[in-house]
Amino acid sequence: MNFDVDLIASFGPELLHAGGVTFLIWLGGALAAIVLGFVVAIGRRYGPPALDAALRVYVDLIRGTPFLIQLFLLYYGGPFIGLSMEPVPAGLLGLAVYGAAYFSEIFRAGFEAVPRGHIEAGECLGLSRVQIVQRILVPEMTMLVLPPAVNMVIVLLKETAVLSIITVPELTFQVGSLGSEKYAFVEAMFLLACFYWALVEVCGSLGRMAEARLSRFGFTNP
């Protein structure tokens, strides 16, 4: 058996398009997960007890079940409750809901790590709750949660491979089709591994650069 580089090159346009779909779904899903996770964290911190309990159930449910099962239930089980979606929107929604549960816990831990004295100082200055969140909690929390947040973004990148189960035309789906059609599973999987490895390295490098820039503000881990 030989490693056929020409076979991969012949499918270059299809694989490039599928790689772009994977990147866009990852980017959109990760951004939506960050925003939704922040909203959940704020709701649990400042909302009424009933809201905190409901959001805790959501977080525990998502974190306690595999993403594959959640995605399967969302896409194939959704029509039973009137939720019928195309593969790409379903993949985006599934990725956002899954990631938000983890980001909410990351943000909640970051809020708890901010010294209580800083919040009390803001209250003494007459800052409102919104101003305290904007000027004290978010800036200090950002530096504290950046490393685990970057790790979670990388996890979401890898989870995009699961979207092939609902026929999202991303790279894993296209590479699987290439392997089945040409019986070139080694070449296909090698290409897929290189794609994810390259994106993970870029994401990690950007995270380290952001951490270095934020450290200039003097925020340090406790």
Question: Could you write out the three-class secondary structure of 112-133?
Answer: HHCCHHHHHHHHHCCCCHHHHH
Whether residue 8 contacts residue 171, with contact meaning beta carbons closer than 8 Å, is answered with no
- Domain interval for residue 85: 5-217
pLDDT band at 161; cut points 50, 70, 90 = confident
Number of H helices, E strands in the chain: 10, 0
CATH number at residue 133: 1.10.3720.10
pTM equals 0.83
Number of domains observed in the structure of the chain: 1
26, with CB counted inside 10 A (0-12, 13-18, 19+), is buried
Contact 188, 179 (CB under 8 A): yes
Q: Note the pLDDT of residue 179.
A: 66
Average pLDDT for 160-179? 79
Q: Is residue 222 part of a domain?
A: no
Residue 140 maps to a domain: yes
Tell me whether residue 126 is in a domain. yes
In a domain, 202, yes or no: yes
The answer to whether position 131 is within a domain reads: yes
For residues 84-95, give the mean pLDDT: 90
pLDDT of residue 222: 43
Domain for residue 48, yes or no?
A: yes
Q: Which residue matches tokens 């881990």?
A: 221
**Burial of 139 from C-beta contacts in 10 A (0-12 / 13-18 / 19+):** middle
Lowest mean pLDDT segment, chosen from 24-33, 100-109, 122-131, 149-158:
122-131
Of the chain, the percentage scoring pLDDT greater than 90 comes to 36
Residues near 193 by beta carbon (within 8 Å), at least 6 away in sequence: none
